Amino acid sequence: MTYRKLITKSCHSREGGNPVAASMNPGIKQSFFILFLGILLASCAPKGNEWKTSQFLIRVSDQGMITEFSDPSNGKNYLAKDKPAPLMQIRTSGKYLVPLSCTRDEKSGTVTLTFEGNRQAKILIQAKPSHVLFKLEEITGNDPLDLIVWGPYPTTISQIIGETVGVVRDSAFAIGIQVLNLKTLGGFPTEENDMDPGFDIFETNSLVDVADSIKVFYRGQTARKESFGSVIQAYCRNRDKERIISNWAHDYYVAPAFNDGGVTGSSIALFGCNSVDALKTIGEIEIAEGLPHPMIDGEWGKTARGASAAYLIMNFGVKELEDALALTKKAGLKYLYHEGPFETWGHFKLNASQFPENWETIKLMVNRAAEENIRIGVHTLSNFITTNDPYVTPVPDPRLARVGSSTLAKAAGKDDKTITISDPKFFNQMKNNTLRCVVIGNELIRYKEVSTSVPWELKDCERGAYGTIAVAHEAGADIGKLMDHGYQTFLTNNDLSMEMSTCIADFFNFTGCRQISFDGLEGNLSTGMGQYGQQRFTQNWYDHLNPELKGQVITDASTPGHYFWHMYTRMNWGEPWYAGFRESQTQYRLLNQLYFQRNLMPSMLGWFRMTSETSLEDIEWLLARSAGFDAGYALVTSLAAVEKNGFSEKILTSLREWERARMAGVFPVEVRKKMQNIKNEFHLEPEGPNNWNLYPYTTWRSEYKPGTAPATIEINNENPDQPIQFILSSGPENSVMGITMSIDGGRKVRIPIELPANHYLKYTGGSYIYLYDATWQQVSTGQLIQSDVTLTQGKHKIDFEAVFTQAGPKQGIKIEMKTAGLPFTLSL
Q: How far apart are CA 82 and CA 226, in angstroms?
A: 14
3-state secondary structure of 275: helix
Whether the predicted pLDDT of 201 surpasses 50: no
For residue 764, give every residue at least 6 positions away whose Cβ sits within 8 Å of its Cβ, in sequence order, or none: 725
pLDDT on residue 10: 31
- Cis amide leading into 394 (omega within 30): yes
Q: Tell me: pLDDT of 41 over 60.
A: no
The pLDDT value recorded for residue 47 is: 52
DSSP calls for 349-396 = PBPTTT-TTTHHHHHHHHHHHHHTT-EEEEEE-TT-EETTSTTTSSS-
Residue from 246, 55, 85 nearest 152 by CA: 85
84-98, 210-224, 363-377: least confidently modelled range: 210-224
Strand ranges for 425-567 from DSSP E? 437-440, 443-446, 449-450, 456-459, 478-482, 484-485, 489-490, 515-518, 554-557
* pLDDT over 90 at 303, yes or no: yes
Q: What number is the average pLDDT over the span 165-187?
A: 98
Rounded to whole angstroms, the Cα distance separating 742 from 726 reads 14
**Sequence-ordered list of residues with C-beta below 8 angstroms from that of 686, at least 6 positions apart, any chain:** 657, 692
Is residue 152 reached through a cis peptide bond, with omega within 30 degrees of 0 on the bond before it? yes
Give me the helix-helix angle, 359-371 and 494-511, nearest 10°.
50
Strand 691-704 and strand 824-827: the pairing is: antiparallel
Q: What mean pLDDT do residues 111-140 have?
A: 97
Check whether 2 has a pLDDT greater than 90. Answer: no
Determine the pLDDT at residue 4: 26
* pLDDT number for residue 807: 74
Q: Which of 557, 386, 616 is nearest to 488 (CA)?
A: 386
Query: pLDDT band at 31, cuts 50/70/90?
Result: very low
Residue 166 Rama label (left phi>0; alpha psi -120 to 50; beta): left
pLDDT digits (tens, 9 = 90+) for 128-144: 999 999 999 999 988 88
pLDDT score, position 390: 98
Look at residues 817, 790, 628, 804 and name the one whose alpha carbon lies nearest to residue 723.
790
pLDDT tens across 428-467, in order? Answer: 999 999 999 999 999 999 999 999 999 999 999 999 999 9
Closest by CA position to 331, among listed 7, 674, 636, 607 = 636
Q: What is the pLDDT of residue 210?
A: 34
The answer, yes or no, to whether residue 265 has pLDDT greater than 80, is: yes
C-alpha angle 69/71/74, rounded to 5°?
135
Indicate the average pLDDT of the chain.
Answer: 91
> Which strands make up the sheet holding 76-77, listed edge to edge?
50-52, 57-60, 66-71, 76-77
Give the number of C-alpha atoms closer than 13 A to the C-alpha of residue 54, restricted to the C-beta side.
5
Which residues have CB under 8 Å from 5's CB, separation 6+? Answer: none
For residue 479, the one-letter residue type is I
Angle made by CA atoms 188, 191, 197, in degrees to the nearest 5: 70
Q: Which of 801, 638, 620 is CA-nearest to residue 705? A: 801
The pLDDT confidence band at residue 198, using thresholds 50, 70 and 90, is: low
390: burial class by Cβ within 10 Å (0-12, 13-18, 19+)?
Answer: middle
3-state SS class at 3: helix
| Closest by Cα among 271, 258, 266 to 234 | 266
Q: pLDDT tens-digit profile of 343-390?
A: 999 999 999 999 999 999 999 999 999 999 999 999 999 999 999 999
| pTM, entire model | 0.91
The model's pLDDT over 402-414, given as tens digits with 9 standing for 90+, comes to 999 999 999 999 9
Across the range 480-502, mean pLDDT stands at 98
> 335 - beta bridge partners?
375
Predicted confidence band of residue 695 (pLDDT cuts 50, 70, 90) = very high
**pLDDT at residue 188 above 90?**
yes
Mean pLDDT calculated for residue range 499-521: 97
State pLDDT tens for residues 222-255: 999 999 999 999 999 999 999 999 999 999 999 9
- The rounded distance, in Å, linking the Cα atoms of 153 and 148 is 14
The whole-number pLDDT of residue 746 equals 84
Count CB-CB contacts under 10 A for residue 64.
Answer: 27
- CA dist 8 and 395 (Å) reads 52
Query: Could you tell me the CA-to-CA distances from 350 to 345, 356, 466, 469, 769 in Å, in that order?
Result: 9, 8, 20, 26, 49
pLDDT at 205 over 50: no
Task: Give the model's confidence band at 761: pLDDT under 50 very low, under 70 low, under 90 confident, else very high.
Answer: very high
Looking at the chain, the whole-number percentage of residues with pLDDT higher than 70 is 91
Closest CA relative to residue 87, chosen from 149, 177, 131: 149
DSSP single-letter state for residue 765: S
Q: Give percent above pLDDT 90 in the chain.
A: 87
Cis amide linkage into residue 710, ω under 30° from 0:
no
